[in-house]
Amino acid sequence: MKEDEDNILVKVEGLSKKFCKDLKTSLWYGVKDLSTNLFGNQKQRQLRPKEFWALKDINFELRRGECLGLIGHNGAGKSTLLKILNGLIKPDEGKVTIKGRVGALIELGAGFNPILTGRENIYNNGAVLGFTRAEIDAKVDAIIDFAEIREFIDMPVQNYSSGMKVRLGFAVAAQMEPDVLIIDEVLAVGDVGFKLKCFNVLEELIKKCAVIIVSHSMPQVTRISTEIILMERGVIVMNESANSAKAIEEYYKLAGKSIKTEFGNGSIEIQEVAINGELKEVVDLEFDKSFKLGLKLRLFKPIEKLSVKVTFYDVEQKPIAQLSSINDNIIIHNINLDDEMSIDVEIEKLFFNVGVYSLHLVVRELNVHNKEVDILSLIRSVKSINVIGNTYYSHSPCLLKGSWKNNLTSD
């Protein structure tokens, strides 16, 4: 028990922080706080006019080797929480206890002066991060090699590309040996190769310390976190271990729907889009079950042949899968040139991971050579599906089914 207690590197108890909505008032409160501060600031703080709780009653503990992923939408209070953990601002209620060296990957290249050379700025940045001269002397070559800018190291930093600057900043920061590491969305740096390198460094670091990471990228969060906290308007909405899809599902639900937009050349109208027979805006779908799409079209001019394409987008608006009549070698015919037609398509098993996906629908006319010509109708976010019913969650959008064999327990 004692040992367990020792392993808790970060302990947050009943933490609250308030902010003021109005600048002038905020400054005036600042002056007042400056003076009350001198006398220890023991009085209980209540909300003064125009103030609100940016954080309210936050509690959690973190041990060495654990990684806490903080998710939530803009303004949920994640960065404020990080600032308090980093000791930059003080809480208004509650207490934070942190053991050991705290490292923050929040701003890369702090203390850089653009006129000075890369080498000089390694010393500036290192000093700000708390290294001694001897430490930097010993690490300077490792830093330059890691950043891969030996050729330009004696050039003023203002001539660096932004990628080079960030690489140098990360290379210095990567030399930290913290017990508690705070990361705020800095991982999207540099090109693909460098990003990979950063991840490797981080994964090494994470093993040795307690990590708190803020990110909007769910794959990233699920990849490295052991625990996930979802925040909304300054409070913890959900606190789950990372493999549980719940917090992420909730996060996506809070994201709000994407807005349906539509355009076409006016020759057809899509009257009805049904998913598994349902006409709702968001249709719940069981994982690994069938997906049926039914379209009803009204045609205002004679169209003989057309194609239909449905693209599935994840919440971050990245396309993850497509269903295309052309790819399936299907020509949708309208032989009698009716002014109404219906099209049905089925996917036997939809193996998307749990989460919300939006559907984009494109209907195009085909010419005599079965080549796609005019776009008859294009609807973005025509419907959304919410895949449910699977307890497993991973950071990739699709889950494949495999037939497994194992030579030791073969039949």
Q: How far apart are CA 204 and CA 176, in angstroms?
A: 12
Stretch that binds another protein, among 91-99, 139-147, 332-340, 377-385 (CB under 8 A): 91-99
Residue 120 makes contact with another protein by CB under 8 A: yes
Q: How far apart are CA 329 and CA 403, in angstroms?
A: 28
Stretch that binds another protein, among 95-103, 218-226, 339-347, 384-392 (CB under 8 A): 95-103
Q: How far is CA 256 from each of CA 75, 83, 115, 377, 408, rounded to the nearest angstrom? A: 15, 27, 45, 25, 49
* Among the listed residues 71, 84, 268, 350, the single contact to another protein using CB under 8 A: 84
- 84 CB neighbour count, 10 Å cutoff: 23
* Among the listed residues 5, 47, 88, 260, the single contact to another protein using CB under 8 A: 88
Give me the long-range contacts of 60-63 (CB less than 8 A, separation at least 24).
60/10, 60/12, 60/229, 60/236, 60/239, 61/8, 61/10, 61/11, 61/12, 62/8, 62/9, 62/10, 62/11, 62/180, 62/210, 62/211, 62/212, 62/227, 63/4, 63/7, 63/8, 63/9, 63/210
Q: How many residues line the site for another protein (CB under 8 A)?
A: 54
Residue 61 makes contact with another protein by CB under 8 A: no
Are the beta carbons of 254 and 73 closer than 8 angstroms? Answer: yes
Task: Output the smallest distance, CB 4 to another protein, in A.
Answer: 15
* Among the listed residues 22, 30, 47, 279, the single contact to another protein using CB under 8 A: 30
Stretch that binds another protein, among 97-105, 199-207, 237-245, 330-338 (CB under 8 A): 97-105
Task: Output the smallest distance, CB 106 to another protein, in A.
Answer: 5
Residue 301 makes contact with another protein by CB under 8 A: no
Task: Output the smallest distance, CB 37 to another protein, in A.
Answer: 5
Residue 39 makes contact with another protein by CB under 8 A: yes
Closest to 69 (Cα-Cα) out of 206, 224, 281: 224
Residue 53 makes contact with another protein by CB under 8 A: no
Can you give the binding site for another protein, defined by CB under 8 A? 9, 19, 26-27, 30-31, 33-34, 37-42, 45, 83-102, 104, 106-107, 110-111, 113, 115-116, 120, 123-124, 127-133, 179
